[in-house]
Amino acid sequence: MDIFETFRLAQEAIYANKLRSALTALGIIIGVAAIILLISIGSGLQSYVSAQFAKLGSNSIFIIPGKVQFGPQGGPPRSVNKLSFDIVNKLEREKSSDIQTIMPFIEISATASYRNSSKITTLAATKTDYFAMSDIRAQSGRVFSSADDRAARKVAVIGQTLAKDLYKSQDPIGQKISISKKPFLVIGVLEPQGNVGGIDVDNQVLVPLSAGRVLTGANQVNSILVKTTSTESIPQAKAQIEKILLRSLGEDDFTIMSQEQLLSSVTSILSFITIALGGIAAISLIVGGVGISNIMLVSVTERTKEIGLRKAVGARPKDILTQFLIEAIILSLTGGVIGLSLGYIGSVALSALIKTTIPLWSVFLALGFSSAVGIVFGVAPAFRASRLDPIVALRYE
E-only strand ranges, the chain:
60-65, 99-114, 117-126, 138-141, 155-158, 176-179, 182-190, 195-196, 199-200, 204-208, 223-228, 254-258
Kindly give the interhelix angle for 304-312 and 317-350, rounded to the nearest 10 degrees: 130
pLDDT of residue 386: 67
Q: pLDDT at position 252, please?
A: 85
Q: Is the pLDDT of residue 37 over 60?
A: yes
Distance set, CA 110 to CA 160, 167, 274, 382 (Å): 17, 17, 30, 62
pLDDT in tens, 62-71: 888 887 765 5
Q: What are 345-396's pLDDT values in tens digits?
A: 888 888 777 778 888 888 887 888 777 877 777 777 777 666 666 655 455 5
* DSSP secondary structure, 194-224, as one string: -EETTEETTSEEEEEHHHHHHHH---B-SEE
Q: Are 109 and 215 in contact (CB under 8 A)?
A: no
What is d(CA 318, CA 322) in angstroms, rounded to the nearest whole number?
6
- Could you tell me which residue, 290 or 77, shows the higher pLDDT? 290
- For a pLDDT cut of 90, what percent of the chain falls above it? 20
User: What's the whole-number mean pLDDT along residues 309-327?
Assistant: 74
pLDDT category at 21 given cuts 50, 70, 90 is confident
Neighbouring CB atoms inside 10 A of 198's CB total 9
Left, alpha or beta for 3 (phi > 0: left; psi -120 to 50: alpha)? alpha
From CA 380, how far away is CA 6, in angstroms rounded? 18
CB burial string 3-37: b at 16+ within 10 A, e below:
eeebeebbeebbeeeeeebeebbebbbbbbbbbbb
pLDDT confidence bin for 2, thresholds 50/70/90: low
* Segment 166-222, tens digit of pLDDT: 998 899 999 999 998 899 999 999 998 876 555 677 899 999 999 999 998 888 899
**Sign of the CA dihedral 378, 381, 385, 386?**
positive
Q: What is the mean pLDDT of the chain?
A: 80
Q: What is the mean pLDDT of residues 2-24?
A: 72
Cα Rg of the chain, angstroms? 31
Span 138-171, pLDDT tens digits: 999 999 999 999 999 999 999 999 999 999 889 9
Task: For residue 284, give Cα distances in angstroms to 183, 277, 357.
Answer: 51, 12, 22
pLDDT at 53: 65
Residue 74 has pLDDT above 60, yes or no: no
One-letter identity of residue 317: P
Q: Which residues pair with 78 in a beta bridge?
A: 67
SS3 (DSSP) at 365? helix
Half-sphere exposure of 275 (CA within 13 A, CB side): 6
Residue 273: which H helix or E strand, with range? Answer: helix 259-302
Provide the 8-state DSSP code for 251. G
User: What pLDDT does 72 receive?
Assistant: 45
Q: Do the bridges between strand 182-190 and strand 155-158 make them parallel or antiparallel, or are there none, so unpaired?
A: parallel
Q: How much is the pLDDT for 97?
A: 85
For residues 278-301, average pLDDT: 74
Q: Cα angle at 157 between 152 and 158, to 5 degrees?
A: 140
Given a cut of 60, whether residue 114 has pLDDT beyond it is yes
Amino acid at site 350 = L
What value does the mean pLDDT take over residues 250-255?
A: 86
